[in-house]
Amino acid sequence: MLITILILILTLVVVPLMTFYFGTPLNALQIEVLTDMGVVLAIVTGVCFLLGEITKNNSQIDKIWSIIPLYYVWHVAYAGDFAPRLVLMAVVVSVWGIRLTYNFARRGAYQWKFWTGEEDYRWEVLRKRPGFNNRFVWMLFNLFFICSYQNTLIFLFSLPVLTGLGDSAPSAIQLWDWVLAGAIIVAVVIEYIADQQQYDFQTEKYRRINSGEPLGEYSKGFVDTGLWKLVRHPNYAMEQTVWLLFYGFSVVATGEWINWSMAGCLLLVVLFKGSSDFSEELTAAKYPDYTNYQRKTPRFIPFTKFGR
């Protein structure tokens, strides 16, 4: 896990530096808006770190994961005088954000004491592991990975909207803008279905446990039906798809397949690989049948385990 974290932090430095040199350089307006957003990034990162240290709840970033991108995209839309394609990009991100915020809220993540609520179960496990059980080491992990890395990642995968302020970017909505927007909405709907299937399974499982009823099909402990029969993480797969498609807006805006705004979606794919590795390690240790599920079911892409 430590090696994975170090690789993620390294990629956060290397990938943006590499992609910065691709495509048309930023104009004065883009630099001004980028600077404003960077200030917000620094403030949000600092607040998340301080609240996490004070409350011992290190999931402060989770509470804003689906909210802060809305600020970034609408800030750019405002700077661009609400040009139609900027508004379209902001709207699809808002649909994504509202859906994800709802899913997070119904699990008890938001309380009137906003710094409380559900903490990612993996942090509790990681805090007990050798190396991470040192208070100072954990504080550094909270600062550099949980808060700085993830907040910067959110900032980066929102950046394709900034290409809409480029000198050559069309202000009118193009055909491919509509195609990308529609595809993102479809991905959000699929993600909603996947999360609902998991929510229904876990709700019924714990209802039976608490009432002392036989678990029956819920005895295996994890959902492997519906979309979860096709891949082990349909919700993660769609989350990555949303932001890969969102990068597509920058291609339409710049006419360049590779440009400086691609770092975010690439880093998100790397993050979900490491995140799912850790989650599956814990799940396999808890539920014996999960190893067999891993053998026969692809992680993110359906129908990629032929002959198994």
For the chain, the average pLDDT equals: 90
Query: Which of 70-84, 119-133, 140-154, 166-180 tops mean pLDDT?
Result: 70-84
Confidence of residue 133 (pLDDT cuts 50, 70, 90): confident
Number of domains in the chain: 1
pLDDT (average), residues 34-41: 95
Q: Are 227 and 234 in contact (CB under 8 A)?
A: yes
Using CA atoms, how far apart are residues 117 and 129, in angstroms rounded to an integer?
A: 23
Confidence of residue 1 (pLDDT cuts 50, 70, 90): low
Using CA atoms, how far apart are residues 188 and 241, in angstroms rounded to an integer?
A: 9
The answer as to whether 308 is a domain residue is: no
pLDDT digits (tens, 9 = 90+) for 255-302: 988 888 988 999 899 889 988 999 999 999 999 999 999 999 999 999
Residue 15 has pLDDT above 70, yes or no: no
Q: Are 127 and 133 in contact (CB under 8 A)?
A: yes
Sign, CA dihedral 130-135-140-146, equals positive
The answer as to whether 258 is a domain residue is: yes
Confidence of residue 307 (pLDDT cuts 50, 70, 90): very low
pLDDT digits (tens, 9 = 90+) for 64-98: 999 999 999 999 999 999 999 999 999 999 999 99
The answer as to whether 56 is a domain residue is: yes
pLDDT (average), residues 209-216: 92
pLDDT value for 128 = 86
The answer as to whether 303 is a domain residue is: no
pLDDT value for 125 = 87
The answer as to whether 306 is a domain residue is: no
Residue 18 has pLDDT above 70, yes or no: no
pLDDT value for 308 = 44
The answer as to whether 86 is a domain residue is: yes
The answer as to whether 304 is a domain residue is: no
Domain that holds residue 121: 1-296
pLDDT value for 113 = 73
The answer as to whether 61 is a domain residue is: yes
Q: Are 270 and 156 in contact (CB under 8 A)?
A: no
pLDDT value for 17 = 63
Radius of gyration over every alpha carbon of the chain, rounded to an integer in angstroms: 20
pLDDT value for 193 = 98
